[in-house]
Structure 1
Amino acid sequence: MLDRSESALGVVLRSRFYRSAFLALLIAGIGMSAATPQLTLFLVRDLGTPLPVAGLYSVTNLAAPLAGFLVGRWSDRSRDRLVWFRICSVVGGAGWLAMAASDAVWLPFVISALALSIAGGSMATLFAACRDELSRHPTRVENRIVATIRMAFTVGWILGPVAGSWFGGLFGLRALLVGTAVCVVAQMIPLGRQRVERYVAPPAYDSANPAEPAERSGRRRIDHMMPLLVFTAVCVLAMTGDTIKFGYLPIYMADQLHVSDTIRGAVIGIQPLLELALLPVAALLADRFGGIRAMTAGAVLGLAGNLAYALSTSVVGLFVGQALNAGLWACVGGLGVTIAQRLYPEGAGTASGVFLGAIPLGSAIGGVIGGLGVAAIGLPHVFFIPSCLTAVAIVGFVILGVREKA
């Protein structure tokens, strides 16, 4: 019997695993966000990488979807879901240590494409383990539970850049990368020796041959993954504007709007704060109206945010754009992995890996689009491009929602 009055926060606090997952994501978020904004500086200053070459670093994100898919598949075949979480954490720690020791321009690119892409699977397997627990203990507030746990990663991304700038300035960028390696490995500590058994649903049976499980009769084919793949592709379209924003909005504010460093920092920093506040709101809407409907509303906010950037002639419009895009990312961060798991219930790990692997893919595509768009139409009109892509994403969400009745 499902309790209508239960609290998501109460469920998380009562569960040892959910509490541990929250702390693990907080540690990982701080470590990752401390290093990520400093990587271009590390490539240029410490390794002497030419700036155009350093800008290609984001292309290594193209390996993330494949790595996420493979790690997810392997976790779906493991008895203990957290085995692959620990493997990915160790691989990630080794990768960041190798990055810190790099003495050649090409090494960080190889390390990112191989080790760090695999390391990204730790978050996917952790959310797959959350799905196993939710399947064993159903609740009416599952979207809010996942959003509450996901909030830890967002908090990490608020704290990490500040800590990273201070630490890197004091001890150097190589020491910062070592610190990130420590955080990536340390995310295992809150979970200790816990095990999360992979949830196995009762087998579905083929109506044409009820004595034989559907999986054995050949029904588990690639077409079962199509809703997941379509949803992921649509999310990628909606996410492309984020990389363009981080890459070019500070330049627009500095060169054309001539705003101070403090105001530029406030514009960039307000989105994660608002996203943190909106995560539970997005989850509440998903619990009441359905995940894809809530995601569609988030994409509408993202479209409005990109248009605000493109049409802004003052910093006020940029603040508005950031606030609207916070709504999009609250939906992507809080609901995306849950929707993906529902669209491919046969494999929670695969679904999580595919979706979370698409986030760096969207970053890589956004980087390419941004570079070409700025050269062609300049700032701030380049944001009309992600506006068009987000409009296509809205149509995709609507169609998917109708087809999946979500």
Structure 2
Amino acid sequence: MLKTARYLRKIRLDRQWKQEYVAAKLNISRTLLSEIELGHTPINEELKQSLISLYQLQSLESEELLELKLTDLFLAVYNCDEEAISLYNELTGNKLNYTNSSLFIEYWLVMFIYTVTYKLDCSIYYQNLKHYNRFLIDKEQQYFSLFKAIQLRNEFRDRKAMDIIQQLLNLDVKDLHFESLLNYHAAYLYYGLGDYTNSLCCVFKASQGFKDTICPVRYFRTESQAANIYMATHLYSQADTINRKLIKDAKGKLPDYDYDCIISNAALNMIYTLNYTAALRYLQKKTAHWTAVPQMFFNIAWIFYKLNCKEDALEIIEKYRDDIYDQYIQDMLQIIYFLIEDPDNKELLALLKKCEKYLNKTGDVDAIIFIYNLMLEFYERKNNTMQQIKVMKKILEIEKLSYKNSLL
């Protein structure tokens, strides 16, 4: 009923016809037409035929097959199911004009959710949803707002994204799927903004929600985020406890990429504790498809470098450097190369500053401090005390801000 009602309203508005004009054509009152367009009054057969004739429509019935596919795509995205890719391609490859379907809102919304989740170009779906914003009911409006916030986060506009998230968190949400997703993405935003207390609180809520909705991929991802928060707050043993449990429990239940991300984060946690042998043991558990995780290359090369297996580190760098799509990881590998082959090279400092600029935008505190420590070592080799003092001040400012956030 609601689909048909807002579809009729959309068609009228697209034609720029006023309600009085359409009501007169249908020989009904404007009030009755308004009730029909709001979904408050059912349409009898005679009026249905009049509407089809007036708007030159084929039918007012919902397309059952399309509705099923959109439902399947939404659930696949929520569950992080690989089937989502083929479903999306099938829908985009179909030449039906979905804008002339009574399912136009469902189509634009689900496709927007997919493209934002997979970090694809969502502009066409966003513009259409924005244009038809007045047709969205409460639940649809909430999903639209949430994924608009995620898109802003993808563009590193965390503050604007958090404004939307805060508004959504203040709502009395009854949908467990939505509430779990909201807390999941709120946790990532709080983490990026350095608010680890609220991030951990949202992680716990999201974890329980995904457990209750039986969504293992997002559940394990959320647990991994909890480990990352502990790592960021220097609670490395707590992070390691979670990582060890995840590596055991998630094996065979996650796509290789997600499992390798957990392996990579577990190794990075050990790198921060300077336990390179333990980090290497974790990396030995990686899947055959580990090369899909860019961070893995840096972890392996850095561990080899710190274990004084420099030839092994250089082999990793030379073999994979040009094949990595992530520019930041490429730069980090080049930094390791210079540390091994030419630690006084000015290009090393230029790369460190380039990575500093990127990390200041992403808000990765631990990685920024890591870069600053490498800068300190560079300036120490150059006997440049003034620059060392400047870098140390930056580190102190970051640690002071992190401490303030932890008290909030």
Whether TM exceeds 0.5 here: the answer is no
Rg (Cα) greater in structure: 2
TM bin, normalised by shorter chain, reads under 0.3
- TM-score (norm: length of structure 2): 0.23
More contact order relative to length (CA 8 Å, sep ≥ 6): 1
